[in-house]
Chain A
């Protein structure tokens, strides 16, 4: 599929994949596609940062290449690595055959056949379907040296392998970086990207998301679930529930054949929306009942 030509087209394209985006997100995605700049998404866990890359790849019919960041991530696990055991076997075979000529051996051992491509190199390979979507997930988990390396890779979209030479992407991939903000990512990297803070959705958008992700849930239950979660986010919690939790919870309730929310049901299934013991404890007993009543009251006039 072609790159969409307007913000509306982007939103329509994403919603066809079940990703409901607001106008702000639609705008940055459009700009990122149009200008070919990496997109830097920051926000709390579970607000759909990773999902957008998936939806984008699916709707454009591109490959999705994901690089999950972690501490100590280095070039050999992010870009490429030589297949050492296979190279050893090749050397032994050449020796046994007797014709170990230095030049040919060198050319053979350091060829594509022995190269293990990691996500960044993978994303720079030519692809019939068009440049892939490169998702660099949870960038804040890695350390500064890798960030600096990424800075270089993202600005030129090329990597140099000493034995093979420089490999340059024929067409720059669509890059999406996400961060949970467990630390501040350096401004130099942010500067090269379009920035967007992904916030919790408002009631209407969360309803749209839920109907699109869990269509089997009855409208009344969905409304109650969303109202409850929206109300819950105003509470003083250590970890506020994200959209992913809302969807999970709705699916839990469906599995339990719940028709309408009650304090007992909430107490039984609280683990699906709150993931910290302190938060769960806070909601035990009358607290959940109070929030539920307030949530239901907010639904009344509608």
Chain B
């Protein structure tokens, strides 16, 4: 542990205070800074000296920043703060909303909600009301309007607009749901009753009897669970479905001890959004509200190819590194160039452990892979399954561990080649 001796800064006690205030400003902007880091920073400044602004900047940077995405926030606040601390206080009020975008804004204030409602002009209400009435039994029927409007409708969906019946039903349904996965063998070993001989332990045990080997000790590989990455389409043609699916995702992401080392979730429509951190919120409604606020492209058009490209470029190396299973939830109705889509699907497929495509359209018996997007994507998935009802999600849970499961892929590929 680093030692925190009393700081020796007699020449400028004001500086230490200013650094402390600066740290507080950073903390308010969402940077994780504890008092330990603050002490480190003061120590570092006294070590590096306080002669040049540039050095001072990088000294504090080294102590306060620990993620690349925090660099811009740091730069902004540094510029504001060290010009005139009092100036910042004036600025803070105007700066905070912008800074809040970086941090998740968990608590939806009533006033904010009203403002959002005013902006939305009750747009969601008419769409949601009939849906609740249509629902019967356990099957969630989806009105697939197949609309792929290319325009990005910058809508912020309010999950509270869901009907109470729908929420209650989804909760009851999802409470029973999980997505169990078989563990995989890791390269670590543990002590066991059989397996391979554990030389070190055998010898250590033998030493207790003067070097006489009484029995052999064994070791066997430890197991570990793979990561799950979910890419969920939230475009217009999918929106009613994806709301239910996000509830399911929340249940999977928060089911501790049910397998899956980590669950990463992304939504895409016209752009890709990482909602992993929002899903970690315990309360499902809070989580989905935050996710809804983060994703700006609810019920807009679909650009699967572009979004997958963004995923492959920005995220795949960070979340697929340790052999992840990918669930791709989309109807595959893409208006863009099928070539891009094909290439990106291939790249995605090559970098995953298993790629499972869940397509709600498959619930129709007469479903045929006619759309260009579907034809482009189908050859590059390991498994192709429906996922429109509890029954089909249960089916998915039953086979997700099986490496040979292909779902409906082969049947549809045959239809494609005919």
Contact = CB atoms under 8 A, between A and B. Distances in A.
A binds B: yes
23 contacts: A6-B49, A27-B55, A31-B59, A37-B2, A40-B66, A71-B322, A72-B186, A81-B200, A82-B200, A88-B203, A91-B206, A105-B211, A106-B207, A140-B321, A141-B321, A143-B186, A181-B318, A183-B318, A183-B319, A191-B66, A194-B62, A196-B62, A238-B313
Interface stretch (B36-44, B149-157, B163-171): B36-44
Given A81-B200, A182-B317, A102 B211 contact: yes
Interface string B39-68: 010011001110000110011011101111
Interface string B304-319: 0000000011000111
Interface string A31-47: 10011110010100000
Interface string B1-42: 110000000000000000000000000000010101100100
Contacts of A71: 186-187, 322
B210 interface: yes
A76 B48 CA distance: 39
Contacts of A94: 211
B71 interface: yes
Contact of B58 (A28, A109, A180, A238): A28
Contacts of B321: 140-141, 182-183
A27 B66 contact: no
B322 A87 contact: no
Contacts of A100: 210-211
Contacts of B347: 238, 278
A190 interface: yes
B47 A35 contact: yes
A9 B54 CA distance: 16
A184 B318 contact: yes
A195 B62 contact: yes
Interface string A83-117: 01001100100110000101001100110000000
Interface in A159-192: 180-184, 187, 190-192
A37 B211 contact: no
A109 B48 contact: no
Given A184-B318, A187-B66, 8 more contacts: A23-B54, A27-B48, A27-B59, A71-B322, A94-B211, A110-B207, A190-B66, A238-B313
A155 interface: yes
A197 interface: yes
B27 to A, nearest CB: 14
B188 interface: yes
Which 4 A/B pairs are nearest by Cβ-Cβ distance? A72-B187, A27-B58, A182-B321, A102-B210
A147 interface: no
B199 interface: yes
A31 B54 contact: no
B244 to A, nearest CB: 30
A74 interface: yes
A36 B1 CA distance: 11
A219 interface: no
A215 to B, nearest CB: 29
Interface of B: 1-2, 32, 34, 36-37, 40, 43-44, 47-49, 54-55, 58-59, 61-63, 65-68, 71, 186-188, 199-200, 203, 206-207, 210-211, 224, 312-313, 317-319, 321-322, 343, 347
A180 B318 CA distance: 9
A30 interface: yes
A299 interface: no
Contacts of A31: 44, 47-48, 59, 62
A27 B200 contact: no
A91 B202 CA distance: 13
A206 to B, nearest CB: 20
A128 interface: no
Contact of B199 (A24, A34, A84, A155): A84
Contact of B32 (A143, A155, A187, A196): A187
Contacts of B207: 105-106, 109-110
A105 B32 CA distance: 53
B1 A155 contact: yes
A178 B68 CA distance: 14
A251 B116 CA distance: 59
A30 B55 CA distance: 11
A87 B66 contact: no
Interface in A65-87: 71-72, 74, 76, 81-82, 84, 87
A156 interface: yes
Nearest to A29: B62
A28 B47 contact: no
A24 B58 contact: yes
A84 B318 CA distance: 38
Nearest to A110: B207
A81 B58 CA distance: 41
Contact of B68 (A37, A109, A197): A197
A272 interface: no
B58 A23 contact: yes
Interface in A103-135: 105-106, 109-110
Given A7-B48, A155-B1, A37 B40 contact: yes
A110 B211 CA distance: 12
Contacts of A140: 321
